Each structure stands twice: as structure tokens, then as C-alpha cells.
């Protein structure tokens, strides 16, 4: 059985990144490399939260970003997920935006997704926060997905 991945908003955003600083270019390259070479090895999911974040505001290549995630399986946001989001926010695990990072983590945790793929290393893929996240998820009876970037999943042909 293939591993499952929750695609968070920063993945399509970095896939279509237009900034030209070296870090932005690297994230764009790694995201596109993973998307083209590795994504078919996984079962991909997202949520309405990602769609809504991508629909908000006026940003470059908005339609392309939405198109990139349009074929992914959509996980419904349930009342249980909304309650998990509130717990994350009250325990200071995630910023106090119920439609952002807390929603992505709660959705991936609730549906027992193996990996939450993100470039958000401040609030999600942050090793300083993982033990706190695991502690709260354990108390809630939830699995904690791996919180990683596409770079962590790009295979090396020289690996044995």
C-alpha cells in the first residue's frame, strides 16, 4: 500500500514561485522535482482549507496553483477537526488562524495521513515543535504525520 501525503498550501505556492533569491529558486526546483519524479509513488490528499487559502488574495499564477491541486483527493473538514484545531491553538502549537496551519495539521492527523508535505518550517515542519505536537496528538488519540519538505522525499539514484 502506498504511503499517503497531505499537500499543504506551500507546496503549490513554491511549485509556482516567482521570487529569484537562491532559497526561493531552490524550493521551487525541489518542489517541481518531487512533483514530477516522486508524487506518483504516493496517494495524495488535500483539504478545502488549502483550496480556500489559494483562492484568497491576488497572487501570481493563482489559477495554476489551484489547478495543481485540483486532481487531489479532498479530505472533508469535520466538526472533530474543527475541535482539534481549537485545541492546537489553545495549546499554542499553531498560530491562532483556524483556517491555516492548525487546520492542515488537524486534518492530516485526523485522517491518519502518513506525511504532511510542507515548506512551512516555522509552524509545521519544525523540529522544535514536534514533541509538543506529538504529546497533544497522543492525548487526543491521534497519529502524528511526518512533517517534512519535498527535499526529504527526493530519492537519490545512488542510494543502496
**Cα-Cα end-to-end distance for the chain:** 22
Q: Write out the residue range of the structural domain in which residue 115 sits.
A: 4-153
CA 160 to centroid of chain Cα atoms:
29
Return contacts of 53-61, CB within 8 angstroms, 24+ apart. Answer: 53/9, 53/99, 53/100, 54/9, 54/12, 54/13, 59/13, 60/16, 60/18, 61/16, 61/18
Tell me the pTM: 0.94
Structural domain includes residue 81: yes
For the chain, the domain total comes to 1
In a domain, 77, yes or no: yes
Per-residue pLDDT of the chain (160 residues; tens, 9 = 90+): 899 999 999 999 999 999 999 999 999 999 999 999 999 999 999 999 999 999 998 999 999 999 999 999 999 999 999 999 999 999 999 878 777 899 999 999 999 999 999 999 999 999 999 999 999 999 999 999 999 999 999 976 544 4
Please calculate the CA angle 67-122-59 and round it to the nearest 5 degrees. 35
At residue 97, the pLDDT reads 79
- Report if residue 159 sits inside a domain: no
CATH label of the domain that carries residue 122: 3.40.50.1010
pLDDT for res 27: 98
Tell me what pLDDT residue 157 has: 54
The pairs formed by 78-86 with CB atoms below 8 angstroms and a separation of 24 or more are 78/110, 80/110, 81/106, 81/107, 81/110, 84/109, 84/110, 84/140, 84/142
Confidence at residue 160, expressed as pLDDT on a 0 to 100 scale: 44
Report if residue 158 sits inside a domain: no
Amino acid at each position: 500500500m502506498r504511503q499517503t501525503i497531505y499537500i499543504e498550501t506551500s507546496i503549490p505556492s513554491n511549485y509556482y514561485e516567482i521570487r529569484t533569491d537562491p532559497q526561493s529558486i531552490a524550493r521551487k526546483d525541489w518542489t517541481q522535482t518531487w512533483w514530477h519524479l516522486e508524487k506518483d509513488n504516493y496517494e495524495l490528499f488535500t483539504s478545502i482549507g488549502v483550496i480556500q487559502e489559494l483562492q484568497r488574495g491576488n497572487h501570481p499564477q493563482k489559477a495554476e496553483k489551484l489547478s495543481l491541486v485540483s486532481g487531489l483527493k479532498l479530505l472533508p473538514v469535520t466538526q472533530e477537526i474543527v475541535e482539534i484545531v481549537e485545541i492546537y491553538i489553545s495549546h499554542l502549537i499553531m498560530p491562532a488562524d483556524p483556517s491555516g496551519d492548525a487546520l492542515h495539521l488537524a486534518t492530516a492527523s485526523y485522517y491518519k495521513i502518513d506525511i504532511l508535505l510542507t515548506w512551512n518550517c516555522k509552524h509545521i515542519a519544525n523540529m522544535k515543535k514536534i514533541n509538543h505536537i506529538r504529546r497533544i496528538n497522543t492525548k487526543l488519540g491521534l497519529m502524528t504525520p511526518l512533517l517534512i519538505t519535498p527535499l526529504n522525499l527526493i530519492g537519490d539514484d545512488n542510494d543502496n
